[in-house]
């Protein structure tokens, strides 16, 4: 892994069309070396296509540029082939060679090196990732988690400048997925690997990424670290994608949105009387005994173990509000309660036709 003051990866005006349809539209992005970046978005938003373009498996439209550590790989009259880019790719299904042992799989990408150098590099990767006990095994005899670790080790063995990972945990069941994800992040950080990980799971992106690139319909919706993306979403789409929200339409007046459950300030440039939208996180709501806040009624309760999900009705809203509580709520279904709010978890945006309709999944 080499050190450089330039970004590990730079994309400028990268676009891609299939059959006249824009799959990627004018993507520009800079990724710092040694960091984990998550490309996040719905299925079909373009994130896997972007990964293929970075790797060299696919080409962007003319005019797009790609640089790695300051060296141009794609630009006017220039296209560096995938095998010459020093970019590793870890596939969703791991793509281990079934007829090769773990040791032979690890050495596969090192065939250009002398045998002694191959053995030394394999030994180094094995020690770092802890695979010594698996070297003589074959892929069919490995668990899902073991296959994932071998695939990661094989991708790291050639010492790529950047490692691309396409939904690397999607084939694992929930309990194993969390453990393997933690192990993978630990390995990437210990090896100071610049990694770009595609995922559709916001919780996965928040737990792994130093930077999150939220994509929507072939464009970048927002870029930021996990706290920025979650705490300061740039749009209602970003707010709702990163976690559940209650949506309330209100009237903008004197720097605040007025809603049936309260008024909330926001930094928006809207004329008084315009419609605005408040996205309220479930954890922003709490309830207490009737008479100590906004009058409401409990309509449903769902116990999930760590928390309780409670649906409450507030007049004159047509829909219930959902809240999450880590404290046991003694009030039963049908009982009157008082709603209280924590304004820190309320995000306000201009109300537009695009925001007002819930966007369908990008195709």
Which band of pLDDT confidence, cut at 50, 70 and 90, is reported for residue 278?
very high
| pLDDT for the residue 212 | 98
> Is the per-residue pLDDT at 268 higher than 60?
yes
Instruction: Find the mean pLDDT for residues 336-360.
Output: 75
Compute φ and ψ for 196, nearest 5 degrees.
-120, 115
Cβ(93)–Cβ(151) under 8 Å?
A: no
| pLDDT for the residue 361 | 38
Q: Are strands 275-280 and 346-350 parallel, antiparallel or unpaired?
A: antiparallel
Show me where the domains of the chain are located: 9-238, 239-356
Cβ(264)–Cβ(278) under 8 Å?
A: yes
Which CA distances in Å does 151 have to 100, 109, 277? 13, 12, 45
> Is the per-residue pLDDT at 359 higher than 70?
no
* Structure-token match 């740039």, residue found: 234
> Is the per-residue pLDDT at 199 higher than 60?
yes
Strand (E) or helix (H) holding 150? helix 144-156
| pLDDT for the residue 106 | 95
- Residue by residue, DSSP assigns 12-48 as EEEEEEETTEEEEEEEEEEE-TT-EEEEE--TTSSHH
What SS3 class is residue 128?
Answer: helix
Strand partners, 253: 256
Instruction: Find the mean pLDDT for residues 329-339.
Output: 91
* Homologous superfamily (CATH) for 9-238: P-loop containing nucleotide triphosphate hydrolases (3.40.50.300)
- Give me the chain's average pLDDT, please: 91
Cβ(54)–Cβ(10) under 8 Å?
A: no
pLDDT in tens, 87-101: 999 988 889 999 999
**Residue (of 351, 339, 307, 343) closest to 325 by Cα position:** 307
pLDDT in tens, 132-175: 999 999 999 999 999 999 999 999 999 999 999 999 998 888 88
The share of the chain scoring above pLDDT 90, in percent, equals 81
Instruction: Find the mean pLDDT for residues 43-49.
Output: 95
**Of 23 and 111, which is predicted with more confidence?**
23
Measured over all CA atoms, what is the biggest interatomic distance in the chain, rounded to whole angstroms? 79
Which band of pLDDT confidence, cut at 50, 70 and 90, is reported for residue 355?
very low
What SS3 class is residue 336?
Answer: strand
What SS3 class is residue 341?
Answer: strand
Instruction: Find the mean pLDDT for residues 113-120.
Output: 93
| pLDDT for the residue 140 | 95
Bond from prior residue into 142 cis (ω within 30 degrees of 0): no
Any idea which of 233-237, 255-259, 353-357 has the lowest mean pLDDT?
Answer: 353-357
| pLDDT for the residue 119 | 92
| pLDDT for the residue 5 | 64
> Is the per-residue pLDDT at 192 higher than 90?
yes
Per-residue HEC secondary structure of 262-295 comes to EEEECCCCCCCCCEEEEEECHHHEEEEECCCCEE
CATH topology of domain 239-356: OB fold (Dihydrolipoamide Acetyltransferase, E2P) (2.40.50)
Instruction: Find the mean pLDDT for residues 275-282.
Output: 96
Q: In 191-234, where do the E strands start and end?
A: 195-199, 211-216, 219-224
> Is the per-residue pLDDT at 2 higher than 80?
no
Angstrom distance (rounded) from CA 62 to CA 77: 9
Which CA distances in Å does 226 have to 80, 204, 205, 211, 242? 33, 11, 8, 7, 10
* Token pair recorded at residue 303: 């116990």
Instruction: Find the mean pLDDT for residues 202-225.
Output: 97
| pLDDT for the residue 353 | 66
Any idea which of 86-90, 175-179, 357-361 has the lowest mean pLDDT?
Answer: 357-361
Which band of pLDDT confidence, cut at 50, 70 and 90, is reported for residue 291?
confident
Strand (E) or helix (H) holding 324? strand 321-325
């Amino acid at each position: 892994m080499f050190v450089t003051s330039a970004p590990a990866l730079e994309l400028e005006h990268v676009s891609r069309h299939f059959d006249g349809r824009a799959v990627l539209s004018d993507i520009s992005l800079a990724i710092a070396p040694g960091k984990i970046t998550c490309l996040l978005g719905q299925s079909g938003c373009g994130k896997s296509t972007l990964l293929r373009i970075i790797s060299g498996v696919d080409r962007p439209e003319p005019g797009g540029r790609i640089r790695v550590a300051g060296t141009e790989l794609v630009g006017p009259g220039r296209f560096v082939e995938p095998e010459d880019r020093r970019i590793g790719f870890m596939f969703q299904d791991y793509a281990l060679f079934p007829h090769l042992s773990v040791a032979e799989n690890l050495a596969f990408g090192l065939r250009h090196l002398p045998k002694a150098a191959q053995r030394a590099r394999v030994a180094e990767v094995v020690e770092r990732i802890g695979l010594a006990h698996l070297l003589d095994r074959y892929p069919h005899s490995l668990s899902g988690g073991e296959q994932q670790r071998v695939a990661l080790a094989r991708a790291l063995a050639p010492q790529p400048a950047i490692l691309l990972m396409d939904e690397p945990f999607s084939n694992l069941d929930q309990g194993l997925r969390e453990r393997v994800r933690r192990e993978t992040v630990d390995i990437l950080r210990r090896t100071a690997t610049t990694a770009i990980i595609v995922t559709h799971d916001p919780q996965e992106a928040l737990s792994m990424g130093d930077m999150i690139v939220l994509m929507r319909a072939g464009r970048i919706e927002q870029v930021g670290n996990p706290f920025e993306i979650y705490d300061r979403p740039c749009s209602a789409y970003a707010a709702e994608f990163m976690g559940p929200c209650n949506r309330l339409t209100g009237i903008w007046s004197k720097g605040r949105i007025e809603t049936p459950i309260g008024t909330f300030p926001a930094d928006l440039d809207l004329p008084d009387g315009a419609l605005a939208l408040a996205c309220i996180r479930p954890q922003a709501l709490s309830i207490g005994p009737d008479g100590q806040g906004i009058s409401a009624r409990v309509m449903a309760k769902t116990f999930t173990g760590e928390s309780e999900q409670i649906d409450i009705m507030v007049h004159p809203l047509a829909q219930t509000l959902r809240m999450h509580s880590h404290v046991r709520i003694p009030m039963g279904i049908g009982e009157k309660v008082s709603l209280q709010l924590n304004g820190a978890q309320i995000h306000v945006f201009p109300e537009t036709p695009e925001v007002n309709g819930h966007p369908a999944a990008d195709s």
